[in-house]
Every structure is written in structure tokens, then in C-alpha cells.
Amino acid sequence: MSSPTKQHGIVVGVDGSGPSDLAVRWAAHEAAMRHVPLTVVHVVATAATSSALGWPSGPVSAELRLWQEDQARQIIADAIKVARDSAEHGASPEITSELLFASAVPTLVELSKEAQMVVVGCQGQSALRRRLLGSVSTGLVHHSHCPVAVIHDEVPSSSQAPVVVGIDGSPASELATAIAFDEASWRGVELVALYAWSDADIAHLPSLELSAIESVAAEALAERLAGWQERYPDVRVRRLIVWDQPARHLLEQAESAQLVVVGSHGRGGFAGMLLGSVSTAVVHAARTPVIVARD
């Protein structure tokens, strides 16, 4: 896709939790592959933040702020160390950091305007269940101005595992395809292109035999991939055509993949609205990293 370098490169939100460390490792690798900087961001939300970002007077409040700043700086320092330690063969990206006192989701959404990608862990420190997305990751996949990578608490089994992309012909799906080809090319792995065929796709056609329907589906998928395969001749593509239930099939493929890429909404969605049902299911339930294509 070769998008231009933006000011913040890859932005990763950190909070000192285990999922946050996994997100930092993944983001550092992503930034190194793209040859862009990595920006480590920690946002401190306080009672003062909710009152026009003003700090109440008095020695106790001043001490509390100093303590918060010390804790926040330590979280950032630890995250930078994780990023540097995870660099492969010395290929470490340029790393910068930002410490902000504000609300986490609006702040990261604003930073996403000048980022190639925002990376977050699947849950924060207060999460109750492993599969439950945290409020920050949920907010970003709905409102970010750039792609969002949600890193779950399971490391991909192999660096040679494929990248999986869900395709349905929507504009969001086209962006997801572009991202997926980039990611597969950078990693030197196979791309699994999954196309979910449904009754809506053949409603305008006369009654057809199953073999004819499969032929029409294969032709539709080939058209969606043709230009991308010409642009990325190094990427081997495995095409999968399934009948309905795309989320279930994507999750099945995710079990043996290192990355899944989905659009932010499907053919029936509108930009800026809630995340599509397929994307929601995948980003919540997958155990491997998921990129939600947002623009």
C-alpha cells in the first residue's frame, strides 16, 4: 500500500499491563518492518481531567500529581525497554514517547490522525475476562482515523503462519485487502483471502446449480484480487470461498494464522457507524492479532 510516513508512525498505547507489553512488542516489530518511528503513549486519566484538566490546589493534590507522573514515566520507560529488547537482529525503530493527562480514547483517536496505525492490547488492567475487550481498544476500533491493531494475549505459533483477510467487496474490505497484502509481503508469508458468499450475492441471478454458483463466486473473488496480485507478485494467495457465516470461518482460519485483517464495516454499513458484526465478532474472539481497517 506504501502509505506516506506520518508524524507518529506506529502509535502504541501502554498502561503497564501484560497485554500492553504484548502490544508494544508487536508494535515495535511492525514499525521496524515499515521503517517508521514508534511512538509510545501513556495517558493518565485523573479526577482533575474531568474538571477541565485543572488540578485542585493544596499540597495533597500536588503530591498526588507528582506520584502519578512518576508512575507514568516508569510505565513509559518499561515499555520502551520492552520495545528495544524485542528488536530482531538489531532492527529497532526510532522510539519516541508521549505522556498525556487526559481521557485515553479521545486522546488516542486524535493521535490516530497523524499515525499509520494505532496498536493496543485487547484489555486493560481492569478487564475481568481474557476475551473481553477493554474500553480503550473498543473505543479505538470504532472511532480511529487509521487502522487499529488489537493484540490479544496469545503469541502466533510461527513467523511463517499466514495472514488472513476477510473480503466482501465493500470499500472497507478493499482497504483491508490492501493492508493484508502489505503485511503478507513484509512478512514473506502466504495470504489467505476468505470470501463469504451469501444469498444476497445471487439474488439477481436466475436459479443456478451449486457448481455454477461456486463458479460465479470464484470469478468475483478473482476480480477483487487481480490488481493486488499484480502489485504484489511475491505474495502467494490461497483463496477460500465459504457460504455465509464469515465470522466463524475467519475465526477458524485465525487459529493457524499470525494476523487477521478485517474491514471496519461490511457492505451494509456506513463510515462512522458502529463496527460491523463480522469485525466485532473477530476482534473480540480471535486469539491472534487483528487489524481493523479504518481510514
| DSSP assignment of 95-138 | EEEEEEES-HHHHHHHHGGG-SEEEEESS-TT-SSTTPPPHHHH
How many other CB atoms are found less than 10 A from the CB of residue 148?
Answer: 28
14 with 115, same domain: the answer is yes
* Domain end point (choices 151, 175, 202): 151
Outline where the chain has alpha helix (H): 18-34, 59-85, 104-111, 135-143, 171-187, 210-231, 246-254, 277-285
User: Is pLDDT larger for residue 253 or for residue 156?
Assistant: 253
265 with 137, same domain: the answer is no
156 inside domain: no
2 inside domain: no
Q: In the prediction, which pLDDT does 48 show?
A: 47
Sign of CA dihedral 39, 174, 242, 271: positive
Q: In the prediction, which pLDDT does 279 show?
A: 87
Give 99's pLDDT tier (boundaries 50, 70, 90).
very high
Give 10-68 pLDDT, tens digit per residue. 999 999 988 899 999 999 999 999 999 999 999 987 654 444 434 444 444 677 778 88
Which residues are bridge partners to 95 per DSSP?
38
φ, ψ dihedrals at 265, nearest 5°: -160, 155
φ, ψ dihedrals at 207, nearest 5°: -55, 125
Asked if residue 122 has pLDDT above 60, the reply is: yes
* Domain end point (choices 129, 151, 173): 151
Q: What is the mean pLDDT of the chain?
A: 82
Q: In the prediction, which pLDDT does 47 show?
A: 55
Sheet architecture: strand order including 38-44: 95-101, 38-44, 10-13, 117-121, 148-151, 290-293, 259-263, 163-167, 191-197, 237-243
User: Is pLDDT larger for residue 242 or for residue 75?
Assistant: 75
Task: Give pTM, 2 decimals.
Answer: 0.85
* Total domains present in the chain: 2
112 with 233, same domain: the answer is no
Distance CA(294)–CA(176), nearest Å, equals 8
68 inside domain: yes
Distance CA(165)–CA(283), nearest Å, equals 13
179 inside domain: yes
Give 165's pLDDT tier (boundaries 50, 70, 90).
very high
Q: In the prediction, which pLDDT does 155 show?
A: 63
66 with 189, same domain: the answer is no
Give the CATH number, domain containing residue 44: 3.40.50.12370
- Which bin fits 134, alpha (ψ -120 to 50), beta or left (φ > 0)? beta
Q: Give the residue-averaged pLDDT of 79-91.
A: 83
109 with 200, same domain: the answer is no
Report which listed range, 145-149, 168-172, 214-218, is most confident. Answer: 145-149
C-alpha cell at position 20: 500492553
157 inside domain: no
Asked if residue 121 has pLDDT above 60, the reply is: yes
Which residues are bridge partners to 261 per DSSP?
165, 291
Domain that holds residue 127: 10-151
172 with 243, same domain: the answer is yes
* Domain end point (choices 151, 171, 204): 151
